[in-house]
Amino acid sequence: MGIAGDSPGVTISVVIPAYNYAAVLPRAIESVLAQAESAGSVELLVVDDGSTDDTVEVLEQLLVRYPERFRALRKGNGGASSARNAGIREAKGTYLLFLDADDELAPGALQALSEHLIAHPYSRLVIGGHIGVSPDGKRREHVPEYLPDDPVQRLRAYLLDKRLALSNGACVMHRDVFERGDYPEQFRSAEDIPVFAQALANYPCSLIDRPLALVHKHDDSLRHQFSHAKAGGLALVDEVFSPRRLDARFQGLKPEFYVQRSLSLFRSAYLAGDADAAKQYFSAAFRCDWRVIFKGSYMRKAIRLWLGKGV
């Protein structure tokens, strides 16, 4: 598979991890190429994570159509985290933007980012908005409006209060962020939370009040989604609050996040029809904080389970 030549002085590297998205991968690639040159020092790197569909052929065709416009590499399948970590190692840019293969950059996003980084050279995490695109084509714009100055409050806003939303494709991170830890490869779900958390907690951040990406929603089955979440389970809590990622200032948030993660997994298990797992996760939340009994929607589901009324 061809690889474009060196790209000296690259400021932003757009990394697209790709696994079995041959049908929509050209859309993602072309959304970057359409604006990369006018935005200045930008490179595009596609990481094929061992796809078994036509991704290899699609990339070869695009490399012929757009010679020297982007680089592509292929590796064995290891999951999204593995592909992103390969991108971190191979990309030349100071800042990295990870765009999912089934999404696309919003027009003008790279130019807006370049201008923002010039105006905010201290920023190590730039948080932009996105446009959610549902399967029926409906669009909904999400633009960030809230970013506390205090790192603890910033982390709370992201992990617990849900007042600060971060999405792949709509955030740009400086390489410094990954000195504390890269994407944890043992997780196939929510693997970006530990990285976003360490960035918010430890580095200067800034907002850009415009959409940077179009995020396409999918009708994935609840069972399929839950299978990945269940595999990681509550171990994600320890990964997020690993001392190398978050120091003692932030550890007071860990019990609350443990309860929230337990209830999130409980809800997912309930909706996926896994009654045993749902009971385990609700029990874990209750043991950590008995006040979960006052969370009405969760408690109603729990009562149905223990009364044997199914899910």
* Separation between Cα atoms, residue 250 and residue 227, nearest integer Å: 29
**Percent of the chain residues topping a pLDDT of 70:** 94
Is the residue at 202 inside a domain? yes
Place of tokens 């320890």: 238
- Lowest-confidence region among 137-141, 181-185, 191-195: 137-141
Residues 42 and 161 in one domain: yes
Indicate whether 104 and 148 sit together in one domain: yes
Q: Are residues 249 and 168 in the same domain?
A: no
Q: Give the residue-averaged pLDDT of 100-106.
A: 95
Section 243-271 average pLDDT: 96
196 plus 56 within the same structural domain:
yes
242: tokens are 């690993």
Print the domain residue range for 145.
12-219
Average pLDDT over the chain, rounded to whole? 92
Residue 217 has pLDDT above 60, yes or no: yes
Count the helix, strand and coil residues of the chain and give each as a percent rounded to the nearest 5: 45, 20, 35
And the tokens for 267? 């809800």
Assess if residue 236 is contained within a domain: yes
What's residue 1's pLDDT?
41
Global pTM reads 0.92
- Whole-angstrom CA distances from 152 to 148, 180, 211 are 9, 17, 26
Domain boundary among 219, 244, 267: 219
Q: What is the pLDDT of residue 225?
A: 76
In a domain, residue 248? The reply is yes
Which CA distances in Å does 170 have to 12, 106, 112, 278, 283? 13, 9, 12, 32, 36
Distance CA 173, CA 126 (A): 7
End residue of a domain, out of 196, 219, 242: 219
The pLDDT value given to residue 226: 84
* Domains of the chain: total: 2
- The C-alpha torsion from 213 through 240 and 202 to 7, rounded to 10°, is -50
Mean predicted confidence (pLDDT) in 113-135: 94
Reference 196, options 205, 185, 208; nearest CA is 205
Share of residues in the chain with pLDDT > 90 (%): 84
Query: Quick one: average pLDDT of 9-20?
Result: 90
Rounded CA gap, 238 and 249, in Å?
15
